[in-house]
Amino acid sequence: MPTDTAPDVRIPRPALVGFTCGVAVSLAITLLDILPDSQGHAVLVAAIATPYLVFALFDGSTRSLVIEIAVMIVFVTTAFLVFDSPAWIVAIVLASHGLWDLAHMRSHMTKHVGDYPIWCATLDISAATMLFVASYVL
């Protein structure tokens, strides 16, 4: 009697949706051609830096709010600084926001985030990958 030895691998729905959103947003930035790819993705970095402020406000913790404001300022400032940079630099900044998202999964520094960190991390990393691939491989 044969046995199935393959593990049952399931991708969490927020990760799958985040991946899909990251690919879609990156394609939209590229196909709409409103800004060059690296600049459009730099704007994305600035935009994705803000939602944790809402979670910090829901949390009601001054500590969480101060941390989230400080990190948001770093990412928004960095997005403006890399606006005219090569795509690989913008991709690194975008992927680094994904690492910040993953840090929220472990640290619980801000409550009420739900599945947002995994969704946003996969969006960030997939969009960064799309930017890199579109700029250097295709």
Tracing tokens 């926001």 back to the chain, one arrives at 97
Amino acid 35: pLDDT: 92
Q: Distance between CA 75 and CA 81 in Å, rounded?
A: 10
pLDDT at 106: 76
pLDDT of 105 reads 82
**pLDDT value, residue 10:** 72
Give pLDDT < 70 ranges for the chain: 1-9, 138
- Asked if 100 contacts 113 with a C-beta cutoff of 8 angstroms, the reply is no
**What residue type is assigned to position 85 of the chain?**
S
Q: What is the pLDDT of residue 107?
A: 72
